[in-house]
Amino acid sequence: MKSMLRRLWIQLKFSLVVKGWKYIQKTQLQWYLLRLGAVGKNVTIMNGCIFPHPGSVFIGNHVFINFHSVLFSAPNAGITIADNVVIGPRCMFVTGGHAIDEPNVPIIDNPATAAPIVIEENVWIGANVTILPGVRIAKGCVVGAGSVVTKDTKPFTVVAGVPARLIRSRLPLSKSQKIK
């Protein structure tokens, strides 16, 4: 595990030095990497990403998280990212919120709510996507840029919009479906 983290840090350090980023950003990224719940092999986390509760974020192998993405996981509701996932710039993953069922109670005094977010394998999440608590992005999905995902997706689909809706399937049509 220690050698894997060292290898990952060397890979990230090289990319940071090549891009000419400042030292403070490199040390901040190193701090996050050491505190994430788990990190797989060949993970790239670009500059400006924020993990308010890094211990509840679990990242698989071959994951790319682009610039300025925020993975806001509540301590009791984590974010799990499976293998071969690409996350575009400025994405927001939020696992927490506030109950709003008591209109006579100030919002700040309502209890906090939380539900985990799961991103399954082979998923592409476009730029500026927001994923809300309790959502599962299924295997092979593509989420269009600027979408707000409020519900689980089906495998091998393309979803987009506010809120995100099914655009099409990524699976090839069978002969009977093409005829119709």
Residues labelled catalytic:
98
Q: How far apart are CA 138 and CA 122, in angstroms?
A: 9
How many whole angstroms separate alpha carbon 33 and alpha carbon 176?
A: 49
CB atoms within 10 A of CB 23: 9
Say how far apart CA 77 and CA 82 lie, in whole Å: 16
Contact 116, 76 (CB under 8 A): no
Q: What six digits make up the tokens of 150? A: 């409020």
CA 49 to chain centre: 11
List residues bridging with 92 in a β-sheet: 70, 130
